[in-house]
Amino acid sequence: MAKKLMKGNEAIGEAAVRAGCLNYFAYPITPQSEVAEYLSRRLPEVGGNFLQGESEVAVSYMLFGAAAAGERVFTSSSSPGISLMAEGMSYIAGAQLPVVFVNIVRGGPGLGGILPAQSDYLQATKGGGHGDYRILVFAPSGVQEAVDLTIEAFPLAEKYSNPVLVLGDGMIGQMMEPVAFPEPDSIAAPLPRPWATTGMRQRPQNLIRSLFLNPDELEYNNLHLSAKYDAMQRDEVRFESYHADGKMDLLIVAYGTMARICKTAVDLLRAEGVAAGLVRPITVYPFPMQAVYEAAQLAGQVLVVELSMGQMLEDVDHAVRGTSPIEFFGKTGGNIPPPEEIAEVARRLLGSGRPRARARGGAAGRRG
Amino acid sequence: MRTIMKKPDSLTDRITHYCPGCTHGVIHRLVAESLDELGLRERTVGIAPVGCAVLAYHYFNCDFQEAAHGRAAALATGAKRVRPDLILFTYQGDGDLASIGMAETIHACNRGEKITTIFVNNAIYGMTGGQMAPTTMPGQVTTTCPAGRDVELTGYPIRVAEILSQIRTPGYIARVAVHTPKHIIEAKRCIKQAFRYQAEGRCYSLVECLSTCPTNWGMTPIEAIDWLDRNMVPYYPLGVKRTPDQEGGAT
């Protein structure tokens, strides 16, 4: 399998095409407009549909219409655009349609900035739109993983008839890395969609809706959705454990781009005799609660590192359940701490003999 | 024995929830007759709005999707782009289309999406209980303009058919009314033509239907028909505003 040097955004676009998704609706927004630019050239080559909508709001409903008509469909956007799509995502979840979203996160709130951030974690994992719904959220830490998870997102969206979100950041979207694409025969074929609105022909009416005026019908829909989320929690949790299987001095929990930097920090610390380890959630919903809990027991001290003011921190707190102190280190605004800075935070944390209330250069708070 | 009249195949047997005297039922029937006569029902997908017609999928005998408020044209766009063999129609009221859904409507028209929109203009929000719409007449009393619509504060009623007929992209735009048999016959002709253009892959089509809302207007059905004729028809001129064979837009 030959590797090709590609920018993350273009690689994600190509990954969707390789996954057999030939329908893409989007609205331009930095730092992911290259996905749309790439697909505006690529999709016509393969007989696909590229459409630039008038707004992210409209795009989210074009996705609804296309998915309800039974076709594989996806979009990409960045934080402010995802906020506008959140309404549509709620309807798509309520109507149980398979749609893949990609969020190349930039800093916020508001217009924020255009540099990499991880400040949409809570929006991605705790809702975003209204109503009782959850979506499967993948958090790749590099371009190859973004490609692999984008390809996997489509069959999983179909398995659960639910949105799947690939949660990247501006770093993953903008950097170039060598990537390999899987062979076409390894790609899962679309599942049959007997529910799709494809014209009645001789069958009864198919109806795609999220309105259930009868309280028992709506509750039934909520229970059905909830059972799907339970199944995701049981079957779809993914994480990477890096030197976190044995006794540790410190457990670092980080995801995405930040986890990649923390991995190097773990190497730096280990080289000087500090037994550091890393648990990297790959699915941030469902969150690897058990893995983080067990690793925390092996370390007795946890450091959460994010490009935010502390969002995944809440899930780690929930996972650890007060059994270990938790320290947080975050950078925002597009500032990305180098591995040395993470290692220094870890050293000071361990050197102090107790959790510190504040770490240099970023936000920190004591938990646990 | 020869059948000379029957319920269209494109309608179900469900009793509708529409109020007595409301003309949604007439418009449903005209859409259904058009689908039947053009042989389109089995490949048609309707898009229901948020508003009085949200449950239209119970009354039409074809596949349906239910939109969020105002977004019907976007759903229809998505479905039609990926399945151009399907016939897509949206059925929307004036709050849904002319207020919250104006952007989706204008851009679907401007892109020349091969879809058909049935736009029901009754000058008021019906489902939510009679609030002011962008199409509410000057001086008309609603629950959110209890002293009557003040055009100094809220502007004049929006003429959707005229706005869309200014768009350069080929389209079919008509305004009809359904308050008398004569008008119903003309409305049927335009609705059927709208679907015919779509079936031929020609263009976007929208038919604005002036409709009554006796409940929220606070009138009897007969008074409502009279009020529509005296107030709405003069302000909202009837007729075909644009065909795909005409040059559209200011040149």
Q: For residue range B222-235, list pLDDT tens digits in order.
A: 999 999 999 999 99
Helix (H, G, I), strand (E, B) or coil at B83: coil
AA identity, residue B125: Y
Please tell me the predicted confidence (pLDDT) of residue A190: 86
Residue B250 pLDDT > 70: no
Tokens of A185: 């025969």
Residue A357 pLDDT > 50: no
Residue A186 pLDDT > 90: no
Please tell me the predicted confidence (pLDDT) of residue B248: 64
Residue B39 pLDDT > 50: yes
Pair type for strands B204-210 and B239-242: unpaired
Edge-to-edge strand list for the sheet holding A239-242: A239-242, A276-281, A250-253, A302-306, A326-330, A366-367
Confidence of residue A355 (pLDDT cuts 50, 70, 90): very low
* Cα dihedral: A346, A262, A164, B74 (round 10): 100
Please tell me the predicted confidence (pLDDT) of residue A129: 96
A62 close to B (CB below 8 A): yes
What are the Cα distances from residue B63, in Å, to A131, A315, A358, B163? 26, 42, 59, 30
> How far is the alpha carbon of B57 from chain A, nearest alpha carbon, in Å?
8
Rounded to the nearest 10 degrees, what angle do helices B24-38 and B181-199 cross at? Answer: 40
Confidence of residue A353 (pLDDT cuts 50, 70, 90): low
Interface of A with B in 185-224 (CB under 8 A): 197-202, 205-211
**Facing residue for B65 by CB, picked from A60, A65, A73:** A65
| CB-CB neighbors (< 8 A) of A211 in chain B | 54, 66
Q: Please tell me the distance from the alpha carbon of residue B115 to that of residue B201, in angstroms, as a whole number.
A: 9
Please tell me the predicted confidence (pLDDT) of residue A358: 42
**Facing residue for B63 by CB, picked from A66, A91, A206:** A206
Residue A97 pLDDT > 60: yes
Confidence of residue A127 (pLDDT cuts 50, 70, 90): confident
**Facing residue for A211 by CB, picked from B63, B66, B80:** B66
B238 close to A (CB below 8 A): no
| CB-CB neighbors (< 8 A) of B49 in chain A | none
Residue A321 pLDDT > 90: yes
Residue A293 pLDDT > 80: yes
Q: Do B74 and A210 touch (CB under 8 A)?
A: no
Average pLDDT, integer, range B166-190: 98
Q: Do B81 and A55 touch (CB under 8 A)?
A: no
Average pLDDT, integer, range A342-359: 74
Q: Please tell me the distance from the alpha carbon of residue B246 to that of residue B242, in angstroms, as a whole number.
A: 7
Residue A368 pLDDT > 60: no
Average pLDDT, integer, range B126-135: 96
**Interface predicted TM-score (ipTM):** 0.96
Q: Do A65 and B76 touch (CB under 8 A)?
A: yes
Pair type for strands A239-242 and A276-281: antiparallel
**Facing residue for B45 by CB, picked from A25, A199, A210:** A199
Confidence of residue A188 (pLDDT cuts 50, 70, 90): confident
Q: Which of B41, B45, B92 should we substitute to test contact with A (largest number of A Cβ atoms within 10 Å)? A: B45
Longest alpha-carbon distance in chain A? 74
Q: Do A66 and B63 touch (CB under 8 A)?
A: no
Average pLDDT, integer, range A65-77: 98
Residue B123 pLDDT > 60: yes
Please tell me the predicted confidence (pLDDT) of residue A363: 46
Q: Which of B38, B43, B65 should we substitute to test contact with A (largest number of A Cβ atoms within 10 Å)? A: B65
Please tell me the predicted confidence (pLDDT) of residue A151: 97
Reported pTM: 0.96
Angle (nearest 5°) at CA A93 between A88 and A94: 95
Q: Do A207 and B65 touch (CB under 8 A)?
A: yes
**Chain B: residue nearest A207 by CA?**
B64
B56 close to A (CB below 8 A): no
Lowest-confidence region among A179-193, A299-313, B49-63, B182-196: A179-193
- Residue in the structure block whose two tokens are 């370390």: A299
Residue B130 pLDDT > 80: yes
| Interval A14-36: pLDDT, tens | 999 999 999 999 999 999 999 99
AA identity, residue A291: A
Interface of A with B in 67-86 (CB under 8 A): 67-71, 73
